[in-house]
Amino acid sequence: MDPSPETHPKTTLSRRRIGVFGGTFDPPHIGHLVAAINARQALDLDVVLLVVANVPWQKVGHRTVTAAEDRLAMMRAAVGDRDDLEVSDIEVRRGGDSYTADTLGELLDREPDAELFVILGRDAAAGLASWERHDEVVSQAQLVVVDRPGPPVELDRRYRWLRVDIPELEISSTELRDRVAAGLSIDYLTPSAVVDLIAARGLYRNAGAG
């Protein structure tokens, strides 16, 4: 399917349209939330699940990853009480390395009639072929690439995917970790509840955290 930023109306059936936005979220920031909200609105999704990875296998050995319980708490603080975004601990509860194929399979076991949409940023979409069992991912869900306006990322033409434009925000979790380690403010780069939680738990103070 050709990428398109247009709104896609719900089907006449009662199938729930569920966005699945996975990540390390170490820490979560406003870019993550903007991407989730824009995808939900553009595709008329019932909910977007923000799935916190237990062990992000592609990052193991490259940097220290904050404990899953802390990342889950930060994401819950970031989302607050919104009805259209839901923090999911499905991968944390499953334990071990986190694979999107396993998560989609578990979600479909729970709700076989659901229509799943895997939400990806540009970098994640470009590296899709390196994912474990990526063929299962594309067979179980519609791919949604959230990206700033401009030329679209190139994906394998065999994949069904849609594009959703989001505001251009130059922000990353790496930058937030580095700023905290350097004693700099991260106010307004992530929700205030996350700022408070990071301070209360003493997260990212060690520059060696990556």
| pTM of the predicted protein model | 0.87
179 phi and psi, to 5 degrees? -65, -45
The answer, yes or no, to whether residue 12 has pLDDT greater than 70, is: no
Question: Mind listing the domains of the chain with CATH numbers?
Answer: 17-168 (3.40.50.620)
**CA torsion sign, 67 to 73 to 75 to 78?**
negative
Query: Residue 54's pLDDT is what?
Result: 96
The answer, yes or no, to whether residue 178 has pLDDT greater than 60, is: yes
Q: What confidence category does residue 20 fall into, taking pLDDT thresholds of 50, 70 and 90?
A: very high
Please name the amino acid found at residue 61. Answer: G
Query: Residue 13's pLDDT is what?
Result: 53
**CA torsion sign, 61 to 133 to 104 to 152?**
positive
Q: Are 62 and 33 in contact (CB under 8 A)?
A: no
pLDDT digits (tens, 9 = 90+) for 107-145: 999 999 999 999 998 888 888 888 989 999 999 999 999
Question: Among the ranges 150-154, 163-167, 204-208, which has the highest mean pLDDT value?
Answer: 163-167
Q: Are 52 and 87 in contact (CB under 8 A)?
A: yes
